[in-house]
A = this chain, B = another copy of it.
Amino acid sequence: MNKEELFQEILKKQTYLCVGLDTDIKKIPKHLLKCPDPVFEFNKQIIDATIDHCVAYKPNIAFYEANGAKGWESLARTMEYIPENLFTIADAKRGDIGNTSSLYARAFFKNMKFHAITVAPYMGHDSVLPFLDFKGKWVILLALTSNPGSGDFQQLEVGKMKLYEKIIKSSLNWGSEDQLMYVVGATKATFLQNIRSIIPRHFLLVPGVGAQGGNLEEVSKFGLNDQGGLLVNASRSIIYASDNNDFAKQAGESAKKIQLEMETYLNKYG
């Protein structure tokens, strides 16, 4: 899916919500545990209930790896179930030397057919470029993350800028705005204005709204541009909206509430 197609989906559905499929088998409703693949069954019902209110799904790969080979099967089934017009992000935060990054790209882009993968920038250009060799696929580079530890290194001064700014600027030589997005935590909404001045036209993936406490209006005000430019992720506040039999219905209502708020902001700031 290219940038324009993603923007058209945002306009059509009036939402830039990404639903984080961070499905922990220890947290899903008990009655699902008798299904042959409980994690997939949970995801399937969450997808059915939220698909009209979002444009993207983002499974965090850790939740699947924690279940070993079975987890990879749940992930593969989930990816087969998600329709092609939904943007899919492997939240994997990978990054390794060139020949190894190529294998991660094969795993997520070719075998699993994800549109995008999150990549950690620490190892530099040749750890990222192999992902960009896959035509029509996206790298979402960690820039400024939503967790407390983002202050440890990402915001250090390197020369006349912060490390995360240096990373964003360097990465502009690696690929185009049709290949690169950036992770910017919602808990850092005030930084968004500055980041928008460096990359006015790129898409940003913003986690941290919901359970992590980020403010959606602030994020939208500083993050939206005239081509959408924003995917805001919510995971726990949607998928665990209820732990009873009505979990999917409640997830749908939680996603719809966010969609309605986003519709307002698209008109106000977009």
B124 touches A151 (CB 8 A): yes
Chain A residues touching B, range? 35 or more
A98 CB contacts on chain B under 8 angstroms = 147
CB neighbours (8 Å) of A125 from chain B are: 148-149, 152
In contact, A107 and B68 (Cβ under 8 angstroms): yes
With A122-B122, A153-B166 given, can you name 14 additional A-B contacts, CB distance below 8 Å? Answer: A66-B111, A68-B107, A69-B76, A97-B145, A120-B122, A122-B142, A122-B153, A122-B154, A125-B152, A156-B159, A156-B166, A157-B158, A158-B158, A158-B163
Shortest Cβ-Cβ A-B pairs, 9 listed:
A124-B149, A124-B152, A69-B72, A62-B103, A65-B107, A97-B147, A66-B103, A126-B149, A156-B158
List 24 A-B residue pairs with CB atoms under 8 Å apart, sorted by A's residue number.
A60-B100, A62-B94, A62-B103, A63-B100, A65-B72, A66-B104, A68-B76, A68-B112, A93-B95, A93-B120, A93-B123, A95-B120, A97-B146, A120-B122, A120-B123, A121-B153, A122-B142, A122-B145, A124-B148, A128-B149, A153-B170, A156-B158, A156-B163, A156-B166
